[in-house]
Amino acid sequence: MVDSIYRTRSLGIGLSGIPDQYADGKAARVWQHYIGGHKKRTESYKEFFCNLLNENGIKHILDVACGTGVDSIMLLENNFKMTSTDASDKMLKQAWKIRWQRRKEEAFDDWVIEEGNWLALQEANIEVPSQGFDAVICLGNSFAHLPDFHGDLSNQKLAIQNFKDMLKPGGVLFIDHRNYDAILDSGKAPQRNLYYNSDCIESIKTSVLYVDGKESMITLDYTVDPSKASDDFTEEGEEPGAKRRKSSSEGDISKFRLSYCPLRLGIFTDLLKGVFGEDARHEVFGDFEPLGKVELPAYYVHMVWKPTNENGLEEN
């Protein structure tokens, strides 16, 4: 019982430094089934998000949690220039596969994909534009994977500082997290939501770990059955003509565990303000809608601007 609460990832993944919770490849293999396919996943927020980026003059974007590439691909298809990083080579492998298959499209041929850990982002093998990127995105409830081992959010502060350093003055960070206020208050994460809405999700079990009365970690145990995919499901990166397995057997069902640092909205906002400055412009959306429009959003998406001085340069 204790093991099922304290173990932060699937069995068999070694612990060293910041753990790659995707290292056994289990989640990576079924990720597109979990999110319902790349295209279906982005349908609900593509237009709103692309408009927001265009309104802010954003062209070159760094996706620091690209995973299998879902948001990066959607943005490439909508004429943004993408540089994409992630700490997990198992997840990146899927993104590389798609890049290779679509390499004849100019945007995909120019797509830069590299390994990069948020805590040492400057070491990622990417070319940073001289002024910095127009935007950095960290979406899909990725940031919450960063554990707060020291109990003082020092990892979180360092990662956000590294994101800020990648931005040009006036550039924007888009970063999201699940509605942990609702999850902590109810003890349960919603099974389907804006990002993850597929027929293949069998169940998601929520555990909340308190240390000295403080909400410290949430683990979600996922059961995903790819054989439940609807007939219109298409997996990007499949070889043309490849037949998707439809038969249901125990072997198809994937169980994996991921853990999260559950930061409430107020704490997350303070974290961003602590790094970007109290006066930094900051907006929050609920499920990519203006706050208040969705009654109980599953996700909060923060948009925070790197301050500039009156000459448009970085503030000291």
Ligand X SMILES: C[S@@+](CC[C@H](N)C(=O)[O-])C[C@H]1O[C@@H](n2cnc3c(N)ncnc32)[C@H](O)[C@@H]1O
Long-range contacts of residues 182-191, Cβ cutoff 8 Å, at least 24 apart: 182/296, 183/208, 183/218, 183/262, 184/208, 184/215, 184/218, 184/262, 184/264, 189/218, 189/220, 190/298
Find out whether 117 is annotated in a ligand binding site. yes
140 binds ligand X (CB under 6 A): yes
Minimum Å distance from CB 164 to ligand X? Answer: 15
Evaluated on CA atoms 65, 70, 74, 77, the torsion sign reads positive
By CB under 6 A, residue 36 contacts ligand X: no
State yes or no: 118 annotated in a binding site: yes
Beta carbon nearer to ligand X, 18 or 107: 18
Q: Angle between the 70-77 and 46-55 helix axes, to the nearest 10 degrees?
A: 60
Is 111 part of any known ligand binding site?
no
Respond yes or no: is residue 22 known to be catalytic. Answer: yes
- Residue 299 bears catalytic tag: no
Task: For strands 214-224 and 112-115, give the pairing.
Answer: unpaired
Q: Would you call 180 a catalytic residue per the annotation?
A: no
Measured CA to CA, the distance from residue 282 to residue 221 in angstroms comes to 33
Among 35, 153, 201, 263, binds ligand X (CB under 6 A): 35
CB of 170 or CB of 262, closer to ligand X: 262
139 is in an annotated binding site: yes
96 is in an annotated binding site: no
Q: Using CB under 6 A, which of 8, 9, 22, 264 touches ligand X?
A: 22
What whole-number distance in Å separates Cα of residue 148 and Cα of residue 269? 16
- Using DSSP, how many helices (H) and how many strands (E) does the chain show? 10, 11
Determine if 259 is a binding residue for ligand X (CB under 6 A): no
Binding range to ligand X, per CB under 6 A, among 4-12, 142-150, 233-241, 287-295: 142-150
Annotated catalytic residue within 99, 145, 264, 302: 145
Edge-to-edge order in the sheet of strand 201-211: 201-211, 214-224, 254-260
75, 82, 135, 139: residue in contact with ligand X (rule CB under 6 A) = 139
Closer to ligand X at the Cβ: 82 or 314?
82
Least distance from ligand X to the Cβ atom of residue 212, Å: 25
The neighbour count for residue 301, using CB atoms within 10 Å, is 24
Query: Any contact of residue 145 with ligand X (CB under 6 A)?
Result: yes
Say whether 86 counts as a known binding-site residue: yes
What ranges in 44-153 are assigned the alpha helix state H? 46-55, 70-77, 89-101, 106-109
Q: Name which of 121 and 265 has its Cβ closer to ligand X.
A: 121
The reply to whether 91 sits near ligand X by the rule CB under 6 A is yes
200-210 b/e with 16+ CB inside 10 Å = b? bbeebebebee
Question: Which residue carries 């100019």 as its tokens?
Answer: 106
Mapped onto helix, strand or coil, the DSSP state of residue 299 is strand
Binding site for ligand X (CB under 6 A): 18, 22, 35, 65, 67, 70-71, 86-88, 91, 117-119, 139-142, 145-146
Binding positions for S-adenosyl-L-methionine are: 22, 31, 41, 65, 86, 117-118, 139
Catalytic residue IDs: 22, 140, 145, 178, 196
